[in-house]
Amino acid sequence: MSLERRTPPSAPEDSLLAWRDEFPILSQTNYLISNSLGAMPRRVYDSLREYADTWATRGVRAWGEGWWDMNVRVGDKVGAIIGAPPGTVSMHQNISIAQGILLSCFDYDGPRNKVVIESGIFPSVYYVLRGMLPSHIELHMVESEDGGITVPLERIIEAIDEHTLLVPISHVLFRSAYILDVQAIIEKAHAVGATVILDGYHAVGIIPVDVTALNADFYLGGVLKWMCGGPGGVFLYARPDHLKTVRPKLTGWMAHKRPFAFEVDEIDLRDDAFRFLNGTPAIPSLYANEPGVDIIAQVVVENIRRKSMHQTALLIALAEEAGFKVNSPRDPAQRGGTVTLEPNPACSYEISRELIARNVVVDYRPQAGIRVSPHFYNSDDEIHQVVEAIQEIIEDGSWRRHATGRAFVT
């Protein structure tokens, strides 16, 4: 069965498709999974070769010739995309570690004994919170009231009070792509003296983010999804005033003002993004991270967002016409770059495996469904193709080939 090709009248001129050649995987694959791992830019081959050449020819001198500062140099490139001033963004291995670094900055013995989170929180962040917060701290979770598509903003705002120390909160929910009104959350938190740690992994690179305009205390995100920067590229933005005051306990010599004095004494912390670093950074990741970040800067997130709103609307229209349940917000202003589909609750996981077997790459999340995540390099045809492929898979029963057990590997 195939659906009639339809393009909403608002479809933008698709000059962004000119970027397709920069991403090798797109020539063989309908790649609709940029919410998980963005497509690799061709330039990464050159970048990693440059890393190997530098190591091979400069050896240890590479530290002084660029590697020592590379972390914050790449951080500045990310910062330019998210409205952060230079010297405020550091790169880290993953969000779990970056959250741990931030949690290690706070004093839990004071009068504030409450941390407010929402039920759409990414589990790894929750595990770190549970592991690091002392038992007398109340972890107050605001629940979704619609099965996980959204979280009620009013409940979050109500929960943040004068007992609240921290508000570690998602900017965009990973299951449904619901965009939280983080401006309102930050305003309430600041009014009562609480600090907000935003997890913007599903925001950066697909919706415009301006950490300065938001007056965000701390903003975490990663380049591996919508920024096409590959694994090992998570960033931590800290508001300039926090860079001079907060004191990470999870720290190391990279954060010291005089690392090469090798003083075994109280650490003298730097007043810039290095303050949040610890030990020797993973230099190869930084080389791999750069090309994707450069491309996103060139493409410009506002252009990406415009196209994304068009393609997610098209996807929802086609999915509804085909009778699939949609577990993402209908209001485009509240929806990030992903549309989560539940074509058949009994076999959506198996359908997702068959899609991947057919080279239509998506993923599946329990309590949500099949996440379809077009990016600036996807064509409208590829949107039609995924919906048609799901219909075929249901009709021909080929999903049954995958009904042997749920491995949940990606």
Q: Are 306 and 266 in contact (CB under 8 A)?
A: no
Of the candidates 118, 199, 217, 380, which one interacts with ligand PLP according to CB under 6 A? Answer: 199
Considering beta carbons, is residue 368 or 394 the nearer one to ligand PLP? 368
Q: Which token pair is 293?
A: 């970040």
What is the smallest separation between the CB atom of 12 and ligand PLP, expressed in angstroms?
27
The least CB distance from residue 232 to ligand PLP, in Å, is: 9
Spatial CA neighbour of 101 closest among 246, 283, 289, 260: 246
Q: Minimum CB separation from ligand PLP for residue 224, in Å? A: 8
Q: Does 15 bind ligand PLP (CB under 6 A)?
A: no
- Residue ranges with strand state E in 187-305: 195-199, 218-222, 234-238
On whether the CB atoms of residues 84 and 237 are closer than 8 A, the answer is yes
Check residue 170 for interaction with ligand PLP (CB under 6 A): yes
For residues 93-112, which are near ligand PLP according to CB under 6 A?
94-96
Of residues 121 and 347, the one with the C-beta less far from ligand PLP: 121
**In whole angstroms, what separates CA 319 from the centre of its chain?**
25
Q: Is 178 in the site for ligand PLP (CB under 6 A)?
A: no
Nearest residue (CB) to ligand PLP, 129 versus 387: 129
The angle at the Cα of 185, spanning 184 to 191, to the nearest 5 degrees, equals 90
Binding segment (CB under 6 A) for ligand PLP, from list 5-13, 142-150, 195-203, 390-398: 195-203
How far is Cα 83 from Cα 302, in angstroms, rounded to an integer?
Answer: 13
- The neighbour count for residue 290, using CB atoms within 10 Å, is 24
For every residue of 103-142, DSSP letters joined together read HTTS-SSSS--EEEEETTS-HHHHHHHHHHS-TTSEEEEE
* Secondary structure class of 314 (helix, strand, coil): helix
CB 234, CB 95: distance < 8 Å? yes
Residue list 232-261, contact with ligand PLP (CB under 6 A) = 234
Q: Judge whether 220 and 211 are in contact, CB under 8 Å.
A: no
Q: Footprint of ligand PLP on residues 372-401 (CB under 6 A)?
A: none
Interface with ligand PLP by CB under 6 A: which range of 121-129, 237-245, 258-266, 327-335?
121-129
For the bound state, the minimum distance from the C-beta of residue 35 to ligand PLP, rounded and expressed in Å, comes to: 8
Q: Which region among 2-10, 14-22, 199-207, 388-396 touches ligand PLP (by CB under 6 A)? A: 199-207
State yes or no: residue 272 binds ligand PLP (CB under 6 A).
no
For residues 118 and 272, which CB has a smaller minimum distance to ligand PLP in the complex? Answer: 118
Q: Which of 7, 15, 124, 215 binds ligand PLP (CB under 6 A)?
A: 124
Q: How far is the CB of 193 from ligand PLP (least distance, A)?
A: 26
Q: Would you say 68 or 174 has its CB closer to ligand PLP?
A: 174
Under rule CB under 6 A, residue 201 binds ligand PLP: yes
Q: How many CB atoms lie within 10 A of CB 361?
A: 22
Max Cα-Cα span within the chain: 71
Distance (Å, whole) CA 310 – CA 18:
18
Closest CA to 168 of 121, 238, 221: 121
Q: Which stretch binds ligand PLP (CB under 6 A): 89-97, 150-158, 308-316, 381-389?
A: 89-97
**Residue 19 vs 122, nearer CB to ligand PLP:** 122
Least distance (Å) from ligand PLP to the CB of residue 227? 13
Give yes or no for residue 202 binding ligand PLP (CB under 6 A): yes
Are 47 and 287 in contact, with CB atoms under 8 Å apart? Answer: yes
Residue 96 CA: distances (Å) to CA of 36, 164, 182, 234: 16, 22, 21, 10
Among 19, 31, 51, 174, binds ligand PLP (CB under 6 A): 174
For ligand PLP, the binding residue among 106, 122, 218, 276 (CB under 6 A) is: 122
Tokens of residue 241, six digits:
């005033």
Phi, psi of 237 (to 5 degrees): -100, 135
Asked whether the beta carbons of 337 and 374 are under 8 A apart, the reply is: yes
113 binds ligand PLP (CB under 6 A): no
Is 204 or 269 the residue whose CB approaches ligand PLP more closely?
Answer: 204
Query: What residues make contact with ligand PLP under the rule CB under 6 A?
Result: 94-96, 122, 124-125, 170, 174, 199, 201-202, 222, 234
